[in-house]
Structure 1
């Protein structure tokens, strides 16, 4: 039997790129998949690909920052597929490039709103129902700037660091009832988001390092994150709930290191041990 048989998975931002690969992999593992995004044609194409491989999926067009729309989307998922077991928050925006005094403040804030508020909305909608059923797994995608400075990418970085902390707080609130939350950094993936960084004048001016990374062959296949998230959905990494997992991780090695990571309180947003002692 497939590992995710009888499970229902919701994947946001599932119309292309990393999200599409995550949705496909969830379906390959046996899950019924709801593909959420704003662009109908893209999510319908993802659903068509899933069905072409013999899977079951529906496309649900949703504005992720509209809480009522998110609640309606989840109600439809439950009605058509069943209760949600796995939520993957893959949606993301990164269009505010440059120093904050050069960025359009509305664009900067829109990045934060889509990334952070969108994740809040889906978690707020899904978590209570998972708690009522006694289990579930939530995966929130993070990225550049989560644990380090990201010059000229402050809106994206701030939102992703906030999602990491939200993930930790959510997990610590719900894990007692077997609802676990995880953060996943897929790594640098060639996607519509990175193409904008590479092609726009602002991207070329303020984020030239992205092109250099690709020139140096730093290009993580989206399947790495998709396979990792399938493992998370199947419970392989429950020990690391509330922590950061990466698409570039060797999954077998990571499984062997889980207890050591927890003992060292690794893969988390923390002050250094020296600084902790001063507080």
Structure 2
């Protein structure tokens, strides 16, 4: 269980700032506001990601924590994973939201989630420096992690008339089953590496070039399910709601599968406090 206090915020803050730095530069530049505007300067109210509505921040929290756990822990297969950059800049609705908000502070509204892969990490061979595998993930946040909430999220919500209800096709297992062997997230991370770190990742870029051809070779793919949320009152410590011995029958993709459940203490307060602290120079 992850506690919620000032020390945890202080420990998480550098990683979260690093994860959001690229998107912050892109969105601020598009909105024509400074990266570090003073409190009374135009655009100070529209800083990314601090200005986002609460629901959007919760989604970002899950994606960043998925990256942190992927780098910090040994997952299925025992591979070493690298996250050269997060894909947050590929969220057109956030770009438009910040542009509008910087010019009209009253335009606060909810934002739909980013389309595409929630999370991509690369397996880079230490000798050749080429990408030899990748992990693609679905990262989710739920305020209360209960069995019914988990079932709706993983299997899809109930739909159809009474007496003939079936699960919809919007569950996580269905999304993973439909996941492409070469997803768009690989193209996006390739594009970012070309722009931001071409020399440092030259071999990785070239190997991704070969994979991303329409008839290119495929990389071994590992699937990740990362779910974070508050502990429900009835949940015993250490209990899991997702399978931890073998993939469930609903998962038919046949790839290596890693599942992580992160139970957070007072998670909503932690997320609010964490995102309010990013790039806050007042506390040094």
TM-score range, shorter chain: under 0.3
- When you count helix as a share of all residues, which structure comes out higher? 1
Of structures 1 and 2, the one scoring higher in RCO (CA 8 A, sep 6+) is: 2
Report the TM-score when normalising by structure 2. Answer: 0.25
Larger Rg: 2
Report the TM-score when normalising by structure 1. Answer: 0.25
